[in-house]
Structure 1
Amino acid sequence: MNFVKILMCAVFLLCSIATTGLFAEEAKPPEAKAPEKAPEEKVTGSVTLGVFNKYVFRGYELSRGSFVVQPAITASYKGFSATYWGNVDSNAHDTQSYFPSAFDKDGMKWFNETDLTLSYTRAFDKLSLTGGYIYYNTKYTNETEELFISATYDILTKPTLAINQDITEYTGTYINLSFSHSIPVYKDVTLDLGASAGYFIGQNRYWKTYEESTGGYTGSKYKGFHDGMVKAGFTIPITKAISFQPVAQYWFPLSSDAKKKIGAVSYNPNGYLGTVFVGGANFVFSF
């Protein structure tokens, strides 16, 4: 009888211990997970050195019979960007839009332009909007400033519409529609294709066109379809941070007014546009 009592007590005690342990396990609160750290935002950017056989800006030839060196540096943080860009003409000669001889620089090496661009970009799903300011510190013509806005839609050809408004010296509006696409060709090497078309609207007296009857720039202000460009190149990674980008561009006028001459004089006060081939390469260090 005593044995039975002892056995029953032992069973009761074991059940109590097991039950207590079970409820203790069930009552134990779940371990809190450590909060995930948000990715650290840092300054990104690039340092670029470009070498080309010509400098062409919106179809205008700004060098001849030389090569140009174009250094640039860009830094970006939380959508804000700042870019410094420069141009060095190795052997300056006159063109229909560029007159180093007027500054006693004909046949000389000339660091003739530095531009500063400040911008902010905001993305909305596939749409990116950018607004900004450009200061053109040009030595071969009067300095000027622009405000701009652009919109890019992230589909196959990445169409980009940009509107630039000169606000100081050469008041006018330049509208450009461009497309670009990169095709993988081997490992990380890509074939980069692009095209663009520009339309210009001159707004102040500077843009009055040439009239043969008066022998001067007294006509209506220059406006119309202006410049076209197609290009092809490669991006060739050398390291994770350094790449080599050879490129070829073909520029051409988009209208008869853009290429118009009256005798030897350009109809457009900024110079007529011709067909121009530009070849060269960029060396890019990204950080």
Structure 2
Amino acid sequence: MRCFRVFLVVGFLVGLLFCFAAYAQEAKDKEQHVVEQQKIPVAHEVAPPGVTGTAALGVYNKYIFRGYELSRNSVVVQPALSASYGGFSASFWGNIDSREHGTQNFTPDRDKQRSFNETDLTLSYTYAIDKWSLTGGWIYYNTKYADETQELFGSVAYDIFGKPTLSIYRDFDRYPGTYFNFSLSHSIKIYKEVTLDLGASAGYMWGDGNYWKTYEPSTDDRTGTKYSAFHDGMVKLGFTIPVTKKVSVVPVAQYWFPLSGKASRKFSTPGGPQSYNPNGYLGTNFVGGASVTYNF
């Protein structure tokens, strides 16, 4: 029921957002010209740019989120759809696991079965000034393998070589905490319109809710300090291969790794290994796959 209500609210907000943006653009673009010869006022309406968007479908060997291994020994299919108008954007993203297997970070909702186990909805607004790009928004995570939660986020990007971007995500719902991410990206044209895409990122997690209490060996329980650490690192290499003016194929390879001993820490106990982080320890992971994107 909660999920249904959220979808209704999101649908209403998205519709309201685009109606408001369309009205604002129409009012801005309407100009009145005077024909000098006849002295007759003529209302001239400049056509608005309209809605742009992207539809994508990705297939990968693994799903990694902020360093957490959320699938194993299966194939994941990730559909995505986004639309933008005048700086406003709304997007949908999903994850379908072909055969769920548990990991140190993931408890399946349908063990060893196919599951559409995550749907994310995002609303955002981007404001650009000179080479700066400022974005703020809201994300709703509808996850079957964990409690649903929400985040507010903001990011700052500067359009120079490497396009450095700092993003901050604040969970204000089920898992109170703040995640910081710094990323770099660069594309090189290698043949006609084909580009080589390089990227890297580093994340820091600061948990401040009781959920984030760490494992303490002396009590054999989660009575330690709240988890706060340099968390995950990622480097990636990919290609953007245009097939038509609107369709591209994007193969990619990513390597994920923990950034600190706290992120990878685990303890051997009589009952089995225990992770310092309540979400489980981070390991090294390779992600490979490709997506097909359609721009409209």
- Report if TM-score (shorter chain) is over 0.5: yes
Structure number, greater radius of gyration: 1
Residue in 1 aligned with 2:154? 149
d(CA) in 2 for partners of 1:43 and 1:109? Answer: 34
Q: Which residue of 1 aligns with 2:204?
A: 199
Amino acid at match of 2:99: N
1:42 to 50, 58, 76: 50
How far 1:40 moved relative to its partner?
Answer: 2.8
Alignment match of 1:124 (pick from 120, 124, 129): 129
Paired residue type of 1:190? T
Match of 2:194 in 1: 189
Q: Distance in 1 between matches of 2:157 and 2:262?
A: 29
Match of 1:22 in 2: none
Shift of 1:146: 0.0
Post-superposition offset of 1:35: 10
- Which letter does structure 2 place at the counterpart of 1:231? K
Query: Where does residue 5 of structure 2 map in the other structure?
Result: none
Counterpart in the other structure of 1:92? 100
Distance across 2 between alignment mates of 1:282 and 1:174: 27
Q: 1:188 to 1:35 in 2, by over 3 A?
A: farther
2:70 counterpart of 1:62: yes
Counterpart amino acid of 1:131?
G
- For the residue of structure 1 that corresponds to 2:222, the secondary structure is strand
- 1:73 matches 2:81: yes
Deviation, 1:30, is 9.0
Does 2:244 match 1:236?
A: no
**Aligned to 1:253, which of 255, 258, 262?**
258
Q: Deviations over 1:26-71 (max 9, x none)?
A: xxx9999x99975632100100001000000000000000010000
Partner residue, 2:115 = 110
TM-score, normalising length: structure 1? 0.86
Q: Mind listing any 5+ residue stretches in structure 1 that lack a counterpart?
A: 1-28
Instruction: Give unpaired runs (5+ residues) of structure 2.
Output: 1-35
Instruction: Show the counterpart of 1:14.
Output: none
Deviation digits for residues 213-237 of structure 1 (CA, Å, limit 9, x no counterpart)? 1111110000010000000000000
Question: How far 1:277 sits from its partner (Å)?
Answer: 0.2
**Number of matched pairs:** 255
Distance 1:125-1:212 versus aligned 2 partners, 3 A rule: same
Asked if residue 265 in structure 1 is aligned to residue 270 in structure 2, the reply is no
What is the match of residue 23 of structure 1? none
Supply the distance in 2 between the matched residues of 1:247 and 1:30 (Cα, whole angstroms): 61
Equivalents in 2 of 1:98, 1:39: separation in Å?
49
Q: Kindly, what percent of the aligned residue pairs are identical?
A: 63
Match of 2:291 in 1: 282
**C-alpha distance in 2 between matches for 1:189 and 1:39:** 32
Q: What's 1:216 paired with?
A: 221
Classify the secondary structure of the residue corresponding to 2:211: helix
The 1-side partners of 2:66 and 2:44 are apart by 48
